[in-house]
């Protein structure tokens, strides 16, 4: 009996010791894993559809011969539209070729399945090819106009902030940097142009040259006038704050005059909508019941006579 009791105690002590050892080992392992740096395994990178499209268009654009005379003008338009990449011209040429082929094929298939005549089939295919060829340039022109309008809209606020910065004691270079930093969310287009101007001056260009490049990149008349004021101020050494304040007042007067001009044109522009949209419904409401009553009452009288 004593032997059996001794064996049971020995087994119990062995089992408890093993369980405690396993738990302590597991706790130490978890502690070491928690303190050790985790290895980050990068997931496999799948190419996005936009990247595949960009590579396809770039490959097609590299095969298209470009005219040396038209290339500078094309790059200038792309910069004004906001496309500043080195491969922007090649991407544009590739997009033009792809859009021409896609629209041309789509026009041919639509005309073929609609069973157009042969002449109409040729006209529809040629029109689709022409539309596909002109569509990328029209998109660039649309982007240029929208960007210029955004710059014109943000220029008065930028000019007011420049006046405040200059009057507080900052120089012109620091003023441009501060304006680009403060208005980067409200007016990112003009802040991007100011940032590019600052980078050009840091690269070693003169301030006058950087200002002229700013006006040439944007292509906005109001910005060109501001650049002319800043160039004259820098050349003759006059007060920058006074010049900016005078130009700010001039811009406010011009904006007020443009608003008054648009308000004066409103009466003339409303003539055609009123004549074709409002007057017919007004005639129906006012003259319609009278005509129906005349027809109902007078025609029987004429028949009885």
- CA-CA distances (angstroms) from residue 227 to 91, 128, 224, 230? 32, 43, 5, 5
The answer on pLDDT for 124 being more than 80 is yes
pLDDT in tens, 69-114: 788 888 899 999 988 888 888 888 888 888 999 999 999 898 888 8
Cβ–Cβ under 8 Å, residues 118 and 109:
no
- pLDDT band per the 50, 70, 90 thresholds, residue 34: low
The structure's pTM equals: 0.71
Query: What is the distance of C-alpha 258 from the center of its chain?
Result: 26
CATH number for the segment(s) 148-267: 1.20.81
Q: What is the residue-wise DSSP string for 2-18?
A: HHHHHHHHHHHHHHHHH
Q: Quick one: pLDDT at residue 71? A: 84
* Residue 132, both tokens: 């596909």
Q: Quick one: pLDDT at residue 272? A: 84
153, 220, 142, 269 alpha-carbon torsion, rounded to 10°: 70
Mean pLDDT calculated for residue range 224-242: 86
Cβ–Cβ under 8 Å, residues 162 and 244:
yes
Q: Quick one: pLDDT at residue 31? A: 60
CA dihedral (81, 83, 89, 93) positive or negative: negative
Mean pLDDT calculated for residue range 55-77: 79
Q: How far apart are CA 57 and CA 64, in angstroms?
A: 11
The answer on pLDDT for 266 being more than 80 is yes
Q: How far apart are CA 106 and CA 112, in angstroms?
A: 10
Q: Quick one: pLDDT at residue 132? A: 92
What are the residue ranges spanned by the domains of the chain? 54-61+69-145, 148-267
């Amino acid at each position: 009996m004593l032997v059996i009791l001794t064996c049971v105690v020995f087994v119990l002590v062995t089992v408890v010791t093993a369980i405690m050892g396993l738990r302590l080992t597991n706790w130490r392992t978890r502690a070491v894993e928690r303190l050790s740096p985790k290895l980050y395994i990068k997931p496999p990178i799948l190419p996005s559809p936009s990247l595949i499209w960009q590579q396809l268009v770039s490959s097609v654009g590299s095969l298209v011969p470009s005219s040396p005379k038209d290339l500078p003008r094309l790059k200038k338009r792309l910069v004004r539209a906001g496309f500043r990449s080195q491969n922007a011209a090649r991407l544009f040429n590739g997009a033009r070729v792809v859009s021409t082929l896609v629209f041309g094929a789509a026009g041919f298939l639509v005309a073929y399945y609609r069973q157009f005549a042969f002449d109409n089939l040729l006209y529809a295919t040629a029109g689709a090819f022409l539309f596909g060829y002109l569509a990328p340039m029209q998109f660039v022109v649309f982007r240029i106009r929208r960007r210029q309008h955004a710059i014109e809209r943000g220029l008065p606020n930028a000019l007011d902030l420049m006046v405040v910065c200059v009057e507080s004691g900052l120089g012109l270079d620091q003023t441009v940097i501060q304006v680009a930093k403060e208005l980067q969310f409200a007016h990112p287009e003009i802040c991007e142009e100011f940032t590019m101007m600052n980078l050009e001056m840091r690269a070693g260009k003169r301030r006058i040259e950087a200002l002229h490049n700013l006006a040439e990149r944007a292509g906005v008349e109001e910005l060109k006038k501001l650049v002319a004021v800043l160039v004259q101020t820098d050349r003759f050494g006059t007060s920058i704050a006074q010049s900016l304040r005078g130009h700010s007042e001039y811009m406010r007067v011009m904006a007020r005059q443009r608003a008054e001009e648009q308000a004066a044109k409103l009466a003339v522009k409303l003539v055609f909508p009123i004549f074709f949209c409002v007057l017919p419904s007004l005639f129906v409401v006012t003259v319609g019941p009278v005509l129906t009553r005349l027809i109902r009452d007078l025609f029987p009288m004429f028949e009885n006579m």
